[in-house]
Amino acid sequence: MKELIIGVSGINAIDNPGPGIGVARSLKEDAGIKVKIVGLAYDAMEPGIYMDWIVDKSYMMPYPSGSGDAFIERLLHIRKNYGLDCIIPNLDAELPVFIKYADDLAAHGIRTFLPGMEQFKLRGKDHLDEIADKINISLPRTKIVTSVDGLLKAIEELSLPVMVKGSFYKAYRCFTTAEAISHYHDLVAEWGYPIIVQQVVTGDEMNVVGLGVGEGNSLGLVGIKKLSITALGKIWTGVTVKNQKMLTAVAEFIRVFKWRGPFELECIVNGDEVFLIEINPRFPAWSYFATGVGINLPSRLVRRAFDLPVAPVPDYEAGKLFVRYTYELVTDMSAFQKAITKGEVP
């Protein structure tokens, strides 16, 4: 079988890890396909650049801002000079560009497996009420605001504490009005409008990673509960769970919205009530957990994208433990030098 060259972004395996290394590692573990991994990096310090047993070649990328032309040009340069058959983007900020240019990339022989722009926008934090309603789970009481007056009114209606969230990234639990106003301004400055103000709900943090085909069916799902998190709220240990209400809701999400591509659905579960918190339109940083319990979603994505055989959706066992750990590597400074001067390693 032809060797496939797969581009993977989010190779920043740091304390707030990107999903790329877990995705790349999963692809390497599928003995039925031969892959080379191209790491797409935005900073010369991204650890994935130096993890040559997982990432075969790394390229520095321009930010996917503005029209995205420079970004696409860089991808075509990689295609021409090294080869690039498929890309699995793993960072939220890249997705609009990849979705916008998916057909152009395909025309140049670079495949993706992504949701459409309408689906991408639908899972935005300001549209979650529609999704929660259709998949029969709850949404914490939510107000969408675009002014400080609106924020104050929302706080009055929801009562403190409240969550104040940016429309794409970041969320803060606010115990006072002053705190909420301060975070409101920070979020507007960083991510723009609108701002989401939400009731605080308590319960267990459970997440699902899944992969939709785009026709209403799934290529696999794994549900987990976070057992411990870092100061940044990132999972450090977790356990697989089979919360039927949550898994049924996720299957409905794929069916109703005909989701195509990977996603992570974040929930808070309190007894029999499941609250929808967020939907991320990409693999989460803990994706290797699913691979470790027998559901290799990145590999299933690539197989599907290339019309290769995909085994029936396997089941997984509840009660499998995920433990993240730290590791160090020592390498020559020349790799860092190449990343900075040439923009590619090795």
Residue with smaller CB distance to another protein, 242 or 342: 242
271 binds another protein (CB under 8 A): yes
Binding characters for another protein, 316-335, by CB under 8 A (x = yes): --xx----------------
List CB contacts of 195: < 8 A, sequence separation 6 or more: 144, 145, 146, 151, 164, 165, 166, 167, 184, 187, 188
CB 313 within 8 A of CB 218: yes
Reduced DSSP (H G I as helix, E B as strand, rest coil) percent helix, strand, coil of the chain, to 5: 35, 25, 40
CB of 297 to another protein, least distance (A): 20
Part in contact with another protein (CB under 8 A); list of ranges 37-45, 138-146, 163-171, 240-248: 240-248
Alpha-helical (H) ranges within 6-91 are 20-28, 69-81
Binder among 34, 108, 185, 242 for another protein (CB under 8 A) = 242
Q: What is the DSSP letter of 47?
A: G
Measure the CA–CA gap between 85 and 102, rounded to whole angstroms.
Answer: 13
In one-letter notation, the amino acid at residue 322 is F
Part in contact with another protein (CB under 8 A); list of ranges 19-27, 112-120, 125-133, 237-245: 237-245
Nearest CA-CA partner of 181 in 164, 159, 203: 164
206 binds another protein (CB under 8 A): yes
Residue with smaller CB distance to another protein, 142 or 243: 243
CB of 226 to another protein, least distance (A): 9
Q: Please name the helix (run of DSSP H) or strand (run of DSSP E) that holds residue 266, with its range, or none.
A: strand 260-270
224 binds another protein (CB under 8 A): yes
CB of 246 to another protein, least distance (A): 9
Nearest CA-CA partner of 253 in 144, 122, 157, 141: 122
225 binds another protein (CB under 8 A): yes
Binder among 107, 244, 326, 327 for another protein (CB under 8 A) = 244
252 binds another protein (CB under 8 A): no
239 binds another protein (CB under 8 A): yes
Measure the CA–CA gap between 120 and 289, rounded to whole angstroms.
Answer: 24
Measure the CA–CA gap between 297 and 282, rounded to whole angstroms.
Answer: 11
Residue with smaller CB distance to another protein, 36 or 320: 320
CB of 38 to another protein, least distance (A): 36
Binder among 204, 252, 266, 278 for another protein (CB under 8 A) = 204
The sign of the dihedral angle between the CA atoms of 37, 38, 39, 44 is positive
7-66 residues in contact with another protein (CB under 8 A) are none
Part in contact with another protein (CB under 8 A); list of ranges 89-97, 115-123, 163-171, 221-229: 221-229
Measure the CA–CA gap between 259 and 295, rounded to whole angstroms.
Answer: 18
Nearest CA-CA partner of 60 in 28, 70, 168, 333: 70
CB of 203 to another protein, least distance (A): 10
CB of 146 to another protein, least distance (A): 38
CB of 265 to another protein, least distance (A): 16
Q: Which residues are near another protein by CB under 8 A? A: 204, 206, 224-225, 227, 239, 241-244, 269, 271, 318-319
